[in-house]
Structure 1
């Protein structure tokens, strides 16, 4: 039977994001980055000094990834941008869905090849309005369509398997991919069928042993599955709407959350909704690579 761990971690940021998402750790600078999608802001937390900085954005960003010491990739409702760190300037890189203003980006992650998988969804989460794309050096390939809420995009440590979910259906999928390109080489199959379970399968990461760690929206939880999809354990967190995890040390995992959709009474009952947390899991970290231009 799976074990349940009460929260014994830390609050990394008490800044309450409408919709915290897209968290990513940059080992080169010991900095944690995440997006407040609805708040149009990029957050950075220097883990050495403990200083948090909020960078306002002109777009609704959902993904941030390292390119190099000077630049980052930003995925947003207006497409992908190259962000200059020193100035915050955004330069267009490519569009995902030209002319489609009804959609925005959501979950995404960089593959070992330096390519990006990123999902889109309707701004009001319309059924089947979104898709999942592969982006390599600005070239966009649609992988899967009729997606309502794309999430859980992550990759196995050998770079040969991708995971993703449409949170509306809660069936976490896996698919064989080419380790050299990040493009699918097979058909998706169900890895975890969570359709009958409470909460929503949200953002996910793989550890160095091929285990999957998933933020469970609505359940205040970080869930741990082994490489064959068996549910092993749950780490409870102090906010119900947990959204996305990222390794920040050899075994620590940071998790964002949200207060989107809560009324005043709901927020009063969930006062840490939108904060960012960390728990020590004992897992072996696997960090995301840089996006290659």
Structure 2
């Protein structure tokens, strides 16, 4: 039985985002980056100084990753873009779902090989409209299709195991990978089955011991699972719709979590000023920072 921990953390950013998602720590800027998908915004926060920057985007983006000190990668409804850090200029790198204007990008993460796994979904969350793709140096490979709500993309510390979920099915899948490429070497199988249970499996990260830290949508919590799928801990957060965790800090020993107000009525949002905010769980973790995308 998992141990439940009350929220003893702090608020990193109190902005009530409609759909806060895709947080990651960039060691180049020493800042946390994340997206307000539906608000078409890229957010940056220096956790040491509290300096906050919000960048307007021309599309709904869901993943931000570092390339180098001059460029970032953005996954969006219009494709994969390279962003110039200095000017903000965007250039198309790969169109992973041409001819599907009804879809947008959702969860994604950089594998240790430097490739991107990126999931999609219908803009109205239509059944089976999305998929999960592998993007390496601009080359797109379809990994899994007929996904309704792609989430929980993360990788074991050695890069030899991948995880993902269709939140509508609510079964966290595990799949063996070629650690050098991030491509599957065998079939996926169910690791954690929460079908029919309260709380959707949303975004996840893997720590240095291979434990899976998952934001549970609809219950306001981050769950920690062992590599074998055992539910070890539940850390509560003061936002019902917790969306994705991220390790941050130079030692990757802290854990941030984003949240969302999507689908909630105005009275509920106003009555709960931390719904949609971004938090520091204020616990010590053995995290691993995501790598850089290789162009």
Once the two structures are TM-superposed, the CA of residue 266 in structure 1 deviates from its matched residue by 2.2
More divergent stretch after superposition (28-37 vs 63-72): 28-37
- In structure 1, runs of 5+ residues without a counterpart are none
Q: Deviation string for 1:246-274 (max 9, x for gaps)? A: 00134311000000000122213432111
CA distance in 1 between partners of 2:271 and 2:186 (Å): 45
Is the 2:10–2:282 Cα contact (8 Å) retained in structure 1? no
Is the 2:74–2:81 Cα contact (8 Å) retained in structure 1? yes
Question: Normalising by the residue count of structure 2, what TM-score does the alignment of the two structures yield?
Answer: 0.98
Counterpart residue number, 1:39: 39
Counterpart residue number, 1:168: 168
More divergent stretch after superposition (168-177 vs 265-274): 265-274
Q: Establish whether residue 255 from structure 1 lines up as the match of residue 283 from structure 2.
A: no
Counterpart residue number, 1:281: 283
Counterpart residue number, 1:74: 74
SS of 2:281's partner is strand
Counterpart residue number, 2:134: 134
Q: Deviation string for 1:149-203 (max 9, x for gaps)? A: 0000000001000000000010000000000000000100111001132110000
Is the 1:240–1:270 Cα contact (8 Å) retained in structure 2? no
More divergent stretch after superposition (69-78 vs 27-36): 27-36
CA distance in 1 between partners of 2:165 and 2:149 (Å): 8
Is the 1:252–1:278 Cα contact (8 Å) retained in structure 2? yes
Once the two structures are TM-superposed, the CA of residue 281 in structure 1 deviates from its matched residue by 3.2
- In structure 2, runs of 5+ residues without a counterpart are none
Counterpart residue number, 1:62: 62
Counterpart residue number, 1:178: 178
Counterpart residue number, 2:210: 210
The residue correspondences of 1:101-112 to structure 2 (distance < 5 A) are: 101-112=101-112
Match of 2:273 among 257, 271, 274: 271
Is the 1:251–1:280 Cα contact (8 Å) retained in structure 2? no
CA distance in 1 between partners of 2:198 and 2:218 (Å): 8
SS of 2:270's partner is helix
SS of 1:280's partner is coil
Once the two structures are TM-superposed, the CA of residue 30 in structure 1 deviates from its matched residue by 1.0
| Count of residues in correspondence between the two structures | 293
CA distance in 2 between partners of 1:14 and 1:189 (Å): 38
Counterpart residue number, 1:234: 234
Counterpart residue number, 2:117: 117
Q: Deviation string for 1:34-74 (max 9, x for gaps)? A: 00000000000012321010000001000000000000000
CA distance in 2 between partners of 1:189 and 1:143 (Å): 14
CA distance in 1 between partners of 2:246 and 2:208 (Å): 13
SS of 2:142's partner is strand
The alignment yields a C-alpha RMSD, in angstroms, of 0.9
